[in-house]
Amino acid sequence: MDDLCNRVAAFVRNLGLLEAGGHVLVAFSGGPDSVALVLILGELSSSGRLPLDLRLAHLNHRLREEADEEEDFCRRFAREQGLPLTVERADVGRLARGCNGSVESVARRVRYEFLARTARAVAAPTVATAHHADDVAETVLMRLLRGAGVRGLGAMRPRRPLCDDIALVRPLMNVRKHRLIAYLEDHGQPFCRDTSNRDTDYVRNRVRHRLIPLLRGEYPHFSVESLVALNEAAIETADLVEGAVDELWPALRVECEEGAVVLDAAVYEQAPPAVRKAAAARALRRLGMPDPLPLRAEHYRALAGLAGRGPGFGVSLPGGLHARREHGVLHFGRPGGRAAPPSRELPVPGSVEAPECGYRINARICPEEVGPQEARQRASEREVFLAAERVRTPLNVRTRRPGDRFHPLGAPGRKRLKEFFIEARVPRHRRDRIALVTDAQDRIVWVVGHRIDDRFRLLAAGQPVLHLQACRTVAEST
């Protein structure tokens, strides 16, 4: 068997990229790389070393005049090899103009969406692409020029998720391009040549045709293999850091919900800087920031030092996201928050749900006599006893509004609710989710979980008593 096939077989076996007898969908452009990949996998399969059920998928991007000729070549090749082929067409140029994106990024997105869709349709759990060592080296250099960190320099993995149920593998990652060309020439196998690969308007092509030859000519120790080794070392280091984040995450994560991730500031601050940066990056990915993250070195430095700053300090990030230091926590999300939920009437007796606060509030007039001392003894963060005659019904449950004031129990006078929250060290992101029980005059009767208004406390025995109780409707974050 050809030495190249042996090399690929060893790479695939050592990394567990493909399983014998597995269904594999090969991304097939008709270029030399994908043609070589199909022939090599076919040779491994027919020899019995790695039996595979191969299928091909070709996407006609309709970007070049020869695109239809390449599609015809792919159909002929599939027939000659006796392999099933799925073909789709996409007007990538029109799609790119419609979303103001680059042709390269839109083509990549459309291509991977097509591959995932086709893999599901043919029940193939694995998609194989023909990325080779030169592709790895070019991508590492492009990331380096952009200022990537360690995770970014791990630019191309042999295996990664394509989507939830499909894996993407790269069996040729340790093979140089010229070896693939020589293999095809030895087998007399024709292939398509993509003329756009010579167009230096594209960054990758400038790196391929200008930068790498310059480095090779000016620096004798430079090699594609050294960049491939850097890619591998960066992946291993990034995986080590991510493993540390995995171990820390249960203690670090306070809340993860739609639109916000909250981390424990003390746990975050005790972690090494690399782990802090990786934890912040994970929080941002969970908020939908695209990967690789569009963050610069100064962003990562600011995020790593966030726990050491005072409450209220924030870091503005790309995509409209924001990281902010609050009392005891770090809040990742979008500034401005959500629209205020409606006010809900609380009947007496009766109850009302406040889903945005995670509570059901119950109200009743106590049938038994409750005096001031007993009221203080029985009261808690979720249960209070008030002077019913001082409260004007109907009651309502709402969240805070600008200008809210109340007289906290035991305080010398009224104060702004915002000021009360600051003194109570309530994190800013939680303040909009604290339930307020108000009376018919919109006076705050109870800041649920915190304090009643001093004006409504029981002063003497024998008074009608309003009993309010807050019951959790969702599990508390830990």
**What pLDDT is recorded for position 477?**
43
Fold of 344-472: Phenylalanyl-tRNA Synthetase; Chain B, domain 3 (3.50.40)
**What pLDDT is recorded for position 164?**
85
**What pLDDT is recorded for position 127?**
98
Choose the most confident range, by mean pLDDT, from 242-246, 255-259, 307-311, 425-429: 242-246
Three-state SS at 88:
strand
List the chain domain ranges.
3-225, 227-333, 344-472
User: What's the mean pLDDT when you consider all of the chain?
Assistant: 91
Sequence-separated (6 or more) residues with CB below 8 Å from residue 383: 467, 468, 469, 470
Sequence-separated (6 or more) residues with CB below 8 Å from residue 430: none
**What pLDDT is recorded for position 258?**
65
Reported confidence tier of residue 478, pLDDT bands at 50, 70, 90 = very low
What's the CATH number of domain 3-225, 3.40.50.620, 3.40.605.10, 3.40.50.720, 3.90.1570.10? 3.40.50.620
pLDDT at 324 over 80: yes
Q: Which amino acid is at 53?
A: D
Reported confidence tier of residue 337, pLDDT bands at 50, 70, 90 = low
Phi, psi of 114 (to 5 degrees): -65, -45
> Read out DSSP for 312-370?
T-EEE-GGG-EEEEETTEEEEE-TT-PPPPPPEEE-SSEEEEETTTTEEEEEEE-SS--
Residues pairing with 55 in the sheet? 25
pLDDT-wise least confident of 11-20, 22-31, 32-41, 364-373: 364-373
Average pLDDT estimate for 138-154: 90
**What pLDDT is recorded for position 336?**
61
Reported confidence tier of residue 447, pLDDT bands at 50, 70, 90 = very high
From CA 301, how far away is CA 312, in angstroms rounded? 18
Reported confidence tier of residue 228, pLDDT bands at 50, 70, 90 = very high
Domain 227-333 is found in CATH 3.90.1150.10 = no
